[in-house]
């Protein structure tokens, strides 16, 4: 190796180390494991835990915030944080894209709706599964203009946590 090649090699090693210190594949693996790990864990949480965000979006926002926080402090370079953030963004985009075109992926990523009222009767077992009290349900029904449970033909907790309903009035009765 001549002197010029040596200087180029030293420059690349120095700039590369200054640009990111953690190995690139390790950063990508960390982002991937975190994204899918938290996504899987979120499927076991009650639907209302994410307010009205889809689970994938909630996981994405949490991890982006975490990666950005590390970029500001824990990682030794900003590029480390950017690589993890880009990895998270890539997985989020790919999972959203696949869930749109592949129904199986959508079923894995998003919880199906859970019925909590059927023909004016509370389905208490489903309410217990989601830790939904009658008072909380009534609060949501009043926000949608329904005063009594008997006026509801069906109510569901959607996969992203929102409560939707079909009233007997909407049904034409």
Cβ atoms < 10 Å from Cβ of 11? 10
Please, are residues 141 and 152 in contact by the beta-carbon 8 Å criterion? yes
- pLDDT (tens digit, 9 = 90+) per residue, 53-71? 666 677 777 777 776 676 5
Please, are residues 80 and 67 in contact by the beta-carbon 8 Å criterion? no
Cβ atoms < 10 Å from Cβ of 164? 12
- pLDDT (tens digit, 9 = 90+) per residue, 91-110? 989 998 999 999 998 888 88
Residues 71 and 79: their CA atoms lie apart, in Å, by 8
The pLDDT value recorded for residue 41 is 76
Residue 32 sits at φ, ψ, to 5 deg, of: -65, -45
In CATH terms, the superfamily for domain 114-167 is bsu07140 like domains (3.30.240.20)
The pLDDT value recorded for residue 106 is 87
Say what the pTM is.
Answer: 0.62
For residue 151, what pLDDT band results from cuts at 50, 70 and 90? very high
Please, are residues 107 and 113 in contact by the beta-carbon 8 Å criterion? no
> What are the sequence ranges of the domains in the chain?
3-109, 114-167
């Amino acid at each position: 190796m001549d002197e010029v090649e040596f200087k180029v090699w030293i420059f690349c090693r120095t700039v590369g180390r200054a640009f990111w210190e953690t190995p690139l594949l390790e950063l990508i693996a960390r982002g991937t494991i975190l994204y899918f790990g938290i996504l899987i864990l979120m499927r076991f949480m009650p639907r209302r835990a994410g307010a009205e965000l889809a689970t994938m979006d909630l996981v994405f926002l949490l991890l982006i915030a975490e990666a950005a926080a590390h970029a500001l402090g824990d990682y030794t370079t900003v590029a480390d944080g950017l690589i993890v953030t880009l990895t998270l963004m890539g997985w989020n985009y790919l999972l959203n894209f696949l869930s749109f075109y592949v129904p199986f992926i959508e079923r894995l990523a998003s919880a199906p709706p859970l019925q909590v009222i059927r023909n004016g009767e509370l389905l208490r077992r489903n309410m217990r599964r989601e830790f939904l009290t009658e008072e909380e349900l009534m609060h949501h029904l009043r926000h949608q203009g329904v005063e009594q449970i008997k006026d509801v033909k069906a109510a569901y907790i959607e996969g992203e946590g929102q409560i939707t309903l079909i009233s007997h009035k909407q049904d034409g009765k």
